[in-house]
Every structure is written in structure tokens, then in C-alpha cells.
Amino acid sequence: MIELIPIQGIPIIKPGDDLAAMLAAAIRPLQPQDKDILVITSKIVSKAEGRFFNLRDIKPTGRATELAMVTRKDPRLVELILNESVAVSRAAPGVLITQHRLGFVSANAAIDHSNVSADIDAVLLMPVDPDNSARLIQAFLERDLGAHMAVVVVDSHGRPHRMGTVGVAVGVAGMPGVEDWRGRPDLFGYALQHTEIGLADMVASAATLVLGQAAEGVPAVLVRGVAYTRCDGSAAEIVRPASMNLYA
């Protein structure tokens, strides 16, 4: 049986907070076990790492101003989006979709306004390296709690051809991002030929049912009961290479 256990008692995270120690303290009463997976929002990682920006401090370039006219977005925000991106995939009124420097494609380079600050001009960028953030947190938890756990950093993304956002893994440590099931037998003994499982995304999406999207105030979930192989996985392995992109 798979359990999704909300982590309670985590305060509003501020830049410089020892997030790993705060998570360990909150998890300890749950008696963490080997193979538990801690899913945490990218937002609390970004806050602890000081990834706040204020739009009042941003001077848009000419390119940002041009794209802002097309998208009808704040040119200061567009400037930040471009700084976090390596390519623009789609620009239209109300829409700016880019390829993030981390490889994934998302709206507004995953820059967030919600649950960031009472200041309307304050925004929050993704962690600089979510995989590394996950590794550092995982290493601390294993030392402090004595349990061999995995860590998944989750963010909310839309999907091509489907409505609604879902939780996806943007940082992974201690488990596969993608698990290769090719060669496993199906119910009738046939070997699977093409099946690769987006395991970290599945865990992230399941945990998002508990994390919520608005004022729920649950920034972390302990996922228990998922079968996986311990490894030095990463979210980078989830990103489809450009050579395999059938939708370009």
C-alpha cells in the first residue's frame, strides 16, 4: 500500500534557512523508513536558496520589451523569463512558453508569483540546480535520521495537448528519474519492448494531491510504499533529448 503523509509544522521558509535540518525535524516523529521518499516543493527550496527577485529592480532589454508587446506581459517579467531560458517555444497574447535552462519546457520559465510574498512585484525563480539541492537534502536526512531515503523536488507544469497542471519532478536524488522496464515479462510472458516508466514524475504527481496548489500550506509529503531501485538518479534524465522530440 502506498501512503501519502503530509509533513506538518514547517514554517514560512526564508533565505538562508537550514531547510534540510527543518525537514529532518518535521519528519522525525513519522519514524522515517528505508525507501521512504520525501517530496518537497521547488518553492521552499528556492526560498531557502534566496531565489527571490523584485520586478522593480529589473530593467527590460529591447528583446524583452518586444516580446512583452506580443504576449501582453510585464516586460520586467519577460526579461527574467528570458534570463532563465535558452529558447522561446511559443509567444502569443497571454502566453510565453520557453525551454528552461534546466532543459524542461514550461510557461514563464516556471517563475512564480503565487505564495511568494505580499509584495505584488516579488517573484520566485527555480532553484539554480534542483538535482544538487535534492542530493544535499537527501545526504543530510540519511545522516540525521539514519534512514535510506530518496528526495524529489516537485513543481507544477502544464502538458502539451492536455489541460490542467500536474506535479512533475525537477530534482531527484536516491531513486531513478526514469525506470527502464524493457525486458520485463507482461501477464502473458511477453517481454516489454519499449516501456520506460517516469517514476519520479509519478511520485511527484501523487504527492501533489496532498501538497495542493493554493493555501493548503503543506510544502512536503512523505511517500511510503513505492518500490524503486536505489541509485544516483536525477531529473535531468527525464528531459527528452532534442533528437527524440517528435513535436518540434
Q: Which domains does the chain have, with CATH numbers?
A: 3-51+126-239 (3.30.1330.100), 53-123 (3.90.1660.10)
Cell of residue 36, nine digits = 521512504
Question: Does the pLDDT value for residue 29 go beyond 90?
Answer: yes
What percentage of the chain carries pLDDT values higher than 90?
65
Residue 48 is predicted with a pLDDT of 96
Cell of residue 185, nine digits = 515479462
- State the pTM of this model: 0.89
- When the pLDDT of each residue in the chain is averaged and rounded to a whole number, the result is 89
Three-class HEC string of 129-180? CHHHHHHHHHHHHHHHHCCCCEEEEEEEEEECCEEEEEEEEEEEECCCCCEE
Give dist(CA 125, CA 47) in Å, integer.
Answer: 9
Region 112-139: what's the mean pLDDT?
Answer: 88
Q: 52 near 123, Cβ under 8 Å?
A: yes
pLDDT digits (tens, 9 = 90+) for 127-178: 999 999 999 999 999 999 999 999 999 999 887 788 888 899 999 999 999 8
pLDDT digits (tens, 9 = 90+) for 177-220: 987 756 566 666 666 566 677 899 999 999 999 986 554 578 99
Give dist(CA 181, CA 204) in Å, integer.
Answer: 19
Q: In what order do the strands lie in the sheet with 220-224?
A: 3-6, 220-224, 37-41, 150-159, 162-173
